[in-house]
Amino acid sequence: MPSESFVREMPKVELHVHLEGSIRPETVLKLSKRNDVPLPADTVEGLREWYTFRDFPHFVDVYVAVSKCIVTPDDVELITREFLEGQKAQNVLHSEVTYTASTIEKYNKIPWPDQLAALNRAREYGEKELGITMNVIVDIVRGDEPERALEVARWAAEAQGNGVCALGLAGEERLGTAQYREAFELAQAAGLPIAAHAGETQGTQSIKEVLEIAKANRIGHGVRCIEDHAVVRELRDRQIPLEVCPTSNVRLGVFPSLEEHPLPRLLDQGLYVTVNSDDPPMFGTTLTDEFQRTSKAFEFTDDILWTLSLNAARAAFLPEGQKRELMQKMREGFSEIE
């Protein structure tokens, strides 16, 4: 089993992590007080207790309440800088971060151009001061009106190459995908990749929907594919990357324990698997923790961790030149710690 120092030092890429779900509890409290936004708790310990999720709707309630604390473009820049500092500390060389711009605009009236400018200021800080990169996946929230989804798709398409790398789809899977077909068609016409949450709280039907309707290039979670041999075969044949978040799946009750998580079976089936943290402080994890926990639970070797890390780098929505540079950095980093 890899040592803790190996896991900590190994170069990483993260593809499934929500910016608003990555805010440190201390920062949530700071923003809450500064912006006079009430929360159910006023201490870090109280927040962590509040974060103990009962079910997915409770998680959504927590997520929205935290998002309401982000009131100004400076707040957006602050949480992004802090996120990048946390990634740097874990040797995460590149992150593709899901960001729900429509929720921030809805509750806090920050126009999308101002949000994008704040995100890009933080991205520049990450590149110049920390030596790491980040791009944004702007997501549609299931439950929003199709017209709103179309607007989000336009935001993402117009900002492609200017900090935005993909259009996402998140929220409660039971609310469906088909109503957003026009938004996905707009993104596809613009050459914008699509990363869609599916196969987490709902079964394989949600995976079929995002493959057929959204033409998803990557699937957020996708772990319930294991319930349908035909879906597994399609994902394997097409090598659609799965953004697997083991601790998140356990905390939200998708699987009863980490030991019962299907991650080893997904690998055994020849699926394209990456490992991610989802909403780190909300689930009491980090990307480093995910690698450490899974390597211990499933007795993963150094080589398996290397494969999982390299999978994420290969699946990144980057221009080919930048992807080659990232892969080279990954190889150099692994060579150094070996």
Return the active site residues: 200
* Contact (Cβ atoms closer than 8 angstroms) between residue 112 and residue 60: no
Q: Dihedrals φ, ψ of 321, to 5°? A: -60, -45
3-state helix, strand, coil in the chain (%, to 5): 60, 15, 25
* Contact (Cβ atoms closer than 8 angstroms) between residue 28 and residue 47: yes
| Chain mean position to CA 306 | 20
Residues facing 133 on adjacent strands: 94
Task: Give the Å distances, CA to CA, from 182 to 95, 179, 185.
Answer: 28, 8, 5
- Structure tokens of 335? 């060579």
3-state secondary structure of 291: helix
Using DSSP, how many helices (H) and how many strands (E) does the chain show?
17, 8
* Contact (Cβ atoms closer than 8 angstroms) between residue 201 and residue 143: no
Task: Give the Å distances, CA to CA, from 108 to 67, 75, 115, 138, 162.
Answer: 9, 11, 11, 17, 23
- To the nearest 10 degrees (0 to 180), the angle between helices 101-108 and 112-125 is 120
The CA angle 140-149-312, to the nearest 5 degrees, is 30
* Contact (Cβ atoms closer than 8 angstroms) between residue 169 and residue 200: no
* Contact (Cβ atoms closer than 8 angstroms) between residue 310 and residue 327: yes
Q: Dihedrals φ, ψ of 178, to 5°? A: -60, -30
Task: Give the Å distances, CA to CA, from 202 to 53, 227, 268.
Answer: 17, 11, 23
